[in-house]
Amino acid sequence: MPAISRRAQSLGTENAFVVLAEVNALARQGKDIVSFCIGQPDFPAPENVQEAAIRAIRGGKHGYTPSAGIDELRTAAAKYLSGMRGGLPIRAEDVVVGAGAKPFIAYAILSTTDYGAGDEVIYPNPGFPIYESQIVANGAKPVPIHLHEARDFAFDPMELERLVTSKTRLLILNTPHNPTGGMLSKKDLEAIAAVLRKHPNVWIYADEIYSRLCYAGEFFSIAQLPELYERTIISDGASKTWAMTGWRIGFTSNPVLAPHFTRWITNTESCASQISQWAVVEAINGPQDAAAMMRASFLERRDLIVGLLNKVPGVACRNPGGAFYAWPNVTEACNRIGVADSEEFRQRLLHEAGVAVLADIHFGSRVPGEGQHVRFSYAASKPAIEQGVTRMAEFIRKNTRKAA
């Protein structure tokens, strides 16, 4: 057989989809599973958005678009991104539309590092697994910066100062954060900015896909701070705000890199779906009632799940500041039932209690001294949250007695 490239062999994955496939297989066998593993709103896209897509289909909007996206969406996204970020001078020509926000992770790494040159990318750990996967696949060196529970899952800016070297080319920031739900406050970002001003050759990838799902204060972007706008790649999209994950529309802004991102799209996906692009024009420009309703529902669910988790034996959960993820510490629970780590805990919880979560190792290496964690996506109904956490508590109580 012909050889498979080292790049392909080293490419990582997103374990939420791996576990989801496992959950679906168990469900096909008739198992009753309460799933918290996928980060996807459980609402339909707003009706006005659906109608806009139907109009686009019936209006013959079926063909290719410019690789950077239709002018109407670039203009709408520029106004939207600017309005969400204190009036930054974002122009339509600075915005590039892609098939979701995820491809821009790769495009940013490809545009700021050279393969095999020893260029370094600093990224949050735990973090969205595609960060590390794409850094490695594109021939750069991954440099994790650890998030700490005592800091509500922010990192220490002094640690960033230690990690930045002459080889650092890109810093990835994600706020609100997947998987912890943590947020970088304006004070955190100001401290990070102070470090970055000493290193003018470092780009910033600001993954702000959860920008409309903030509960601990107003959203603030590092791009709003002095001297950092032109160095910051602002990444946002339609998936989380308007429940449009499968419509695959993301948009990214940077006044310098926009033409390079456009060429990457020409070389890969050609363009995003024209139908979806017209739907997102309506999502941005139309009524925001549905988006506000979803945010309010996620906030209620956050309060519910955190309150319930903190009553479970051996579990302690911080109050996440945004997104729709809870990141409870299950170190004591693991000890109580005699499992080695969070991954064994996850597997037993799934197969014995019918509750699907993700383990911390699905989001990078465990942070030294931080214990064991699992991720719940609370983009699930209140009855599902109540049932799932109840099953988890019963599972721990039952197996604590066995262990004793």
Shared domain check, 112 and 220? yes
Whether the pLDDT of residue 403 is over 70: the answer is: no
Mean pLDDT of 245-255: 98
Buried b (16+ CB within 10 A) or exposed e, 340-363: ebbbebbeebbeebbbbbbbbbbb
Whether the pLDDT of residue 27 is over 90: the answer is: no
Whether the pLDDT of residue 18 is over 90: the answer is: no
Shared domain check, 73 and 13? no
Angle at 111 between CA 106 and CA 114, to 5 degrees: 100
Q: Is residue 218 part of a domain?
A: yes
Q: Is residue 57 part of a domain?
A: no
**SS3 category, 282:** helix
How many angstroms separate the CA atoms of 66 and 172, rounded? 28
Whether the pLDDT of residue 73 is over 90: the answer is: yes
How many angstroms separate the CA atoms of 150 and 145, rounded? 15
Instruction: Judge contact between 386 and 308, C-beta under 8 A.
Output: yes
Shared domain check, 26 and 75? no
Per-residue pLDDT band at 92 (split at 50, 70, 90): very high
Per-residue pLDDT band at 139 (split at 50, 70, 90): very high
Mean pLDDT of 54-58: 98
Which residue, 281, 328, 363, is CA-closest to 80? 281
Return the sign of the alpha-carbon dihedral for residues 27, 33, 34, 37. negative
**Strand 355-356 relative to strand 34-35: parallel, antiparallel, unpaired?**
parallel
Shared domain check, 184 and 122? yes
Mean pLDDT of 144-162: 96
How many angstroms separate the CA atoms of 104 and 94, rounded? 14
Last residue of a domain, one of 228, 261, 285: 285
**260-311 tens-digit pLDDT:** 999 999 999 999 999 999 999 999 999 999 999 999 999 999 999 999 999 9
Predicted pLDDT of residue 404 = 60
Q: Check: pTM over 0.75? Answer yes or no.
A: yes
Encoding tokens for residue 26? 């168990």
Shared domain check, 256 and 156? yes
Whether the pLDDT of residue 90 is over 70: the answer is: yes
Encoding tokens for residue 332? 């004591």
Shared domain check, 383 and 301? yes
For residue 37, give its domain range. Answer: 6-44+290-403
Instruction: Judge contact between 394 and 402, C-beta under 8 A.
Output: no
Name the residue with higher pLDDT: 246 or 13. 246
**170-229 tens-digit pLDDT:** 999 999 999 999 999 999 999 999 999 999 999 999 999 999 999 988 999 999 999 999
How many angstroms separate the CA atoms of 79 and 87, rounded? 9
Predicted pLDDT of residue 23 = 80
Q: Is residue 54 part of a domain?
A: no
Query: DSSP for 375-388?
Result: EEE--S-HHHHHHH
Last residue of a domain, one of 285, 309, 335: 285
Shared domain check, 177 and 30? no
Number of domains in the chain: 2
Mean pLDDT of 16-33: 84
- The contacts of residue 145 (CB under 8 Å, 6+ apart) are 122, 123, 124, 125, 155, 159, 160, 163
Whether the pLDDT of residue 14 is over 80: the answer is: no
Q: Is residue 343 part of a domain?
A: yes
Last residue of a domain, one of 269, 285, 301: 285
Per-residue pLDDT band at 19 (split at 50, 70, 90): confident
- Give strand pairing partners of 146: 125
Question: Which CATH number is 327's domain given?
Answer: 3.90.1150.10
Mean model confidence pLDDT for the chain: 96
Shared domain check, 362 and 390? yes
**106-120 tens-digit pLDDT:** 999 999 999 999 999
**220-247 tens-digit pLDDT:** 999 999 999 999 999 999 999 999 999 9
Shared domain check, 206 and 101? yes
Shared domain check, 385 and 274? no
Encoding tokens for residue 84? 């969400």
Shared domain check, 299 and 255? no
Q: Is residue 55 part of a domain?
A: no
Question: Which CATH number is 220's domain given?
Answer: 3.40.640.10
Mean pLDDT of 298-326: 98
Predicted pLDDT of residue 12 = 85
**SS3 category, 124:** strand
Predicted pLDDT of residue 13 = 79
Query: DSSP for 45-75?
Result: PPHHHHHHHHHHHHTT--S---TT--HHHHH
Q: Is residue 56 part of a domain?
A: no
Shared domain check, 16 and 67? no
Q: Is residue 52 part of a domain?
A: no
Q: Is residue 172 part of a domain?
A: yes
